[in-house]
Structure 1
Amino acid sequence: MAPNPTPPAEPQDSPDGYVGLEADRAERLARDRGWSTVRSLEPGTIVTMEYRFGRLNFEVRDGRVARAWKG
């Protein structure tokens, strides 16, 4: 039987630290800190629920991050 793959490491960075930042600044900062994928979403956007290692999600309202979460 093949071994289970080891997922890549995620940055040791709390998503809560991005809340309140301007969206462009938050995206640049997240990439600088090692997040491989950063996506900005409008409130109410329908997204799939699969967890993707290395992805950081931002819900953006009025140009600022209102909510941030991994996956």
Structure 2
Amino acid sequence: MAPFSTSEPDDDPETYVGLPQADAEERARGRGWTTVRSLAPGTIITMEYRAGRLNFEVKDGTVTRSWKG
């Protein structure tokens, strides 16, 4: 199994807030994020940090929050 990447794109997560979910996911993958995770508000998730992962909180089809890891 290949090791996890320790690098991530030079990209500001705030630029995704306000975008439609599908557009944000496509843009993130195009900018080099290896994992893109979209979550409903209040979803319980593990908090381990994973380089190369971008998280979106999505409400009514729109990204309301975005963060790395």
Q: TM-score, normalised by structure 2?
A: 0.92
Determine helix, strand or coil for the equivalent of 2:28: helix
* Equivalent position of 2:56 in the other structure: 58
* Equivalent position of 1:4 in the other structure: none
Cα deviation for residue 8 of structure 1 reads: 2.5
Alignment of 1:18-33 (within 5 A): 18-33=16-31
List gaps (5 residues or longer) in structure 1. Answer: 1-6
List gaps (5 residues or longer) in structure 2. Answer: none
Q: Greater CA radius of gyration, 1 or 2?
A: 1
Residue by residue over 1:8-66, the C-alpha shift from the partner in whole angstroms, topping out at 9 and shown as x without a partner, is 32100000000000000000000000000001000000000100000000000010000
Aligned-residue sequence identity (percent) comes to 66
* Equivalent position of 1:35 in the other structure: 33
Q: What is the CA RMSD across the aligned residues, in angstroms?
A: 1.3
CA distance in 2, matches of 1:8, 1:53: 5
